[in-house]
Structure 1
């Protein structure tokens, strides 16, 4: 039964017309009538950086180019995670008719949530590339690290999105809880501020390092500056990945068959 989840993902990946093409079509249709069109995919991250970056760079006495990398990459990855979480938790309930029809895999909706969020993330990265090449703190070769670190984040979002979709089908209030946690989580995640302000051996540092989002951001941002993430971050992400997929396997084996009844 442990192979059931992976076989479902494999079947879903072989049919991208449902989760990839339909997600892109939804995005294109949404912005078709606007004058700026798909530019709106890039606008949120660009506006956040242009408005917030110069202000907080002066508050924190930071060099603007390097701080813009910290801020922009942090917000882009945070936005990716938030979009996957908020979409996944309602994915199965909002596609009730397709699921009851029996022609789709539950993993199709996880991949659809991931695909939609990745389209937005890639669009954000088009603007971030300008910042990355502009900042002297980022060695050009370090940009290639994104091809390793971003897939690690996506690997974790896969199990998290699937698990939340199953739990969200059973617990309708979970979506409200997730939205509340994410609103508060933005303040406790080093997106605007920097986690390095709190040493690992301090109480504040220990609290910060309990936050999974902190480690996800660090594993993406630190290599861009030519630095290795802390050993604790590497171990945290490894443990989170292994335990997370074990949770997803358990939920698939134990509860996936009840989804049509729950929704």
Structure 2
């Protein structure tokens, strides 16, 4: 069995399988609807101006435009992360026929799940950016740092998707457990509230900072809205990236050959 990095390089050189398949997944989902891919904009718009607007009205004195931008960017990044995590647990099960047919480069199936969720993210991103542009806090100079943060997030999503996909092949119940975990993590992730209300010395502040989703959202959202990224976020992400990469390489080498037996 080849290494993870070798298979990843081969998949990136020949993206015809996973890239085309991920696009087909998106197109076929909305093929028979009137609005087609425009439906991807609806949930984001409803969340930002519906739920975000409602919550802003409950907090007198809050800057509504800034809060909507905070919610919008936080929502699309949170949905990207949670969708990848959910889809990764069934990535191999959904491609069982290909694997049984001898397609053992498993990175293709992981990349398909990641690319599909990233496609949803890109399609809904204009709505979130519209909310960000309308905010006086928007900082165009932070775009470069936000792209760097997004690249870090995507690499982490890939390596942890490898781990989740292999674990999901071995333990099918992981998909249901992940759904519950995502709901719990949403409560301690500052998507519809500001991280400043959870100081580090408080219990909810410690839970928030132990939550990887908070840090993954912060490195994308904070630079765009002119906010400072906490030093602990950079340390957390650096440690998570290193640990996740090592774990994914080791687990893929030792367990990927068993995936066909587990499916």
**TM-score in same-fold range (> 0.5):** yes
Aligned to 1:54: 53
Aligned to 2:101: 101
Does residue 1:184 correspond to 2:187, yes or no?
no
Q: Is the 8 A contact 2:84 2:161 kept in 1?
A: yes
Q: Distance in 2 between matches of 1:18 and 1:257?
A: 20
Does residue 1:9 correspond to 2:20, yes or no?
no
Q: Distance in 2 between matches of 1:66 and 1:145?
A: 19
Say which SS state the counterpart of residue 252 (structure 1) adopts. Answer: helix
Q: 1:104: how far off? A: 4.6
Does residue 1:114 correspond to 2:108, yes or no?
no
Aligned to 1:159: 159
- CA displacement, residues 171-192 of structure 1 (integer Å, 9 cap, x when unaligned): 1111111111112221221111
Runs (5+) with no aligned partner, structure 2: none
**Runs of 4+ with deviation above 6 angstroms:** none
Q: Distance in 2 between matches of 1:255 and 1:20?
A: 25
Once superposed, what is the RMSD of the aligned Cα atoms?
A: 1.5
Does residue 1:137 correspond to 2:144, yes or no?
no
Q: Distance in 2 between matches of 1:260 and 1:30?
A: 28
Q: 1:225: how far off? A: 2.1
- CA displacement, residues 149-170 of structure 1 (integer Å, 9 cap, x when unaligned): 1111101000111110001111
Q: Distance in 2 between matches of 1:110 and 1:159?
A: 9
Moved more, 199-208 or 67-76: 199-208
Does residue 1:73 correspond to 2:73, yes or no?
yes
Moved more, 110-119 or 144-153: 144-153
Q: Distance in 1 between matches of 2:18 and 2:224?
A: 31
Say which SS state the counterpart of residue 210 (structure 2) adopts. Answer: coil
**TM-score, length basis structure 2:** 0.95
Say which SS state the counterpart of residue 260 (structure 2) adopts. Answer: helix
Q: Distance in 1 between matches of 2:130 and 2:23?
A: 24
Say which SS state the counterpart of residue 235 (structure 2) adopts. Answer: helix
Q: 1:98: how far off? A: 0.2
Q: Distance in 2 between matches of 1:108 and 1:60?
A: 46
Say which SS state the counterpart of residue 27 (structure 2) adopts. Answer: helix
- CA displacement, residues 127-167 of structure 1 (integer Å, 9 cap, x when unaligned): 12212221111122323433211111101000111110001
**TM-score, length basis structure 1:** 0.95
Q: Is the 8 A contact 2:92 2:109 kept in 1?
A: yes
